[in-house]
Chains A and B, each alone.
Chain A
Amino acid sequence: MTDETSLFEREPDQVRRIHGGFFHAIPHARELGLEVLDMGAGWGLLKIPYRADLVGNPQTGVLHGGVLTSLIDSACGLAVFCRLPRMEAIATLDLRIDYLKPATIGEDLFARAECYRLTRQIAFVRSVAYQRDPQQPVATSVATFMRSSASSVRAPRPPEKA
């Protein structure tokens, strides 16, 4: 368990500056129209505006699950970045999404994610995706991420005395 305070708590403006426009630099995030709306210590809020070319079922006009996966994966990643004590690379280990109800056609999609535990090597995240009302989620999700910085790896044990 690490008890280091997050970079966000120490330097909120710096983190906002880095991650506020961070997703514009990611080709696929740009492709989906992903927007960072807000963030705090260990959490992030993202949005994908409704678009006809993001639809999964042409008969119903409902957004494809893959759009939701990208949104949630990105929101979870942002939450972890806002919880880490310093900038470091992370990788998604796994992601589980429960589809609670079909998304309403024509409405934008939001995801709020929270990193609720950070260990030396792993970040645990949960996320809720919704449209107009955060109390009426379309999906909930849990994810784990692997940290990659050298400092997150346990130092080797000193050799035992003879």
Chain B
Amino acid sequence: MELQQLIQTAREQGDLSGLMGHIPYARLIGMDMRLDEAGQPLFVLPYQSKNIGNTALPALHGGVIGGFLENSAIVHLMWNRDAVEMPKTIDFSLDYLRSGRAIDCYARCEVTRQGRRIAHVTASCWQQDPAQPVAVARVHFLLT
């Protein structure tokens, strides 16, 4: 089944568990998602030792945090859109604010603007306090 179809089904049934299992990279980093009180996706990256980038601190790999946020932005946009195609990333900009500790991560996204051809999505990743983000990102997507 295509990802967009899976998202459609998940949206109808209100059950997002298993959606991430269909994206190999999301499965690799162990990413999951659920809906928050407002009915918007909340993305979760449970801690796993293979996501570590710095064993001395220890800290999560910056690439994992980037991949987590980028994938969150893609799925968030698909969740809030009826189109069939998977959006194409044009550019991705990531600001690291704190080192990601060896605990779970969360992410929320927002579609800042959705035009006919381009969408702008922001994403924020935090661990214990949403007001203390580990990283923030913004992505431009090509929709057609």
Contact = CB atoms under 8 A, between A and B. Distances in A.
B51 interface: yes
Nearest to B66: A69
B70 A54 contact: no
Interface string A1-36: 000000000000000000000000111111110000
A52 B24 contact: yes
B27 interface: yes
Contacts of B94: 69, 94-96
Interface stretch (B83-91, B113-121, B123-131): B83-91
B22 A65 contact: no
A97 B91 CA distance: 6
Contacts of A97: 91-93
A66 B96 contact: no
Contact of B89 (A29, A53, A65, A91): A65
B92 A65 contact: yes
B51 A99 contact: no
Given A28-B52, A94-B95, A70 B61 contact: yes
Size bracket of the A interface: 35 or more
Contacts of B25: 53-56, 63-64, 66-67
B63 A64 contact: no
Contacts of B61: 26-29, 70, 73
A104 interface: no
Nearest to A94: B95
Contacts of A25: 55
Interface string B71-112: 100100000000000101111111110010000000000000
B67 A93 contact: no
Contact of B96 (A29, A30, A67, A93): A93
A59 interface: yes
A14 B86 CA distance: 46
Interface of A: 25-32, 52-59, 63-67, 69-74, 91-99, 102
5 tightest CB-CB pairs across the interface, nearest first? A66-B67, A70-B63, A64-B25, A69-B66, A28-B61
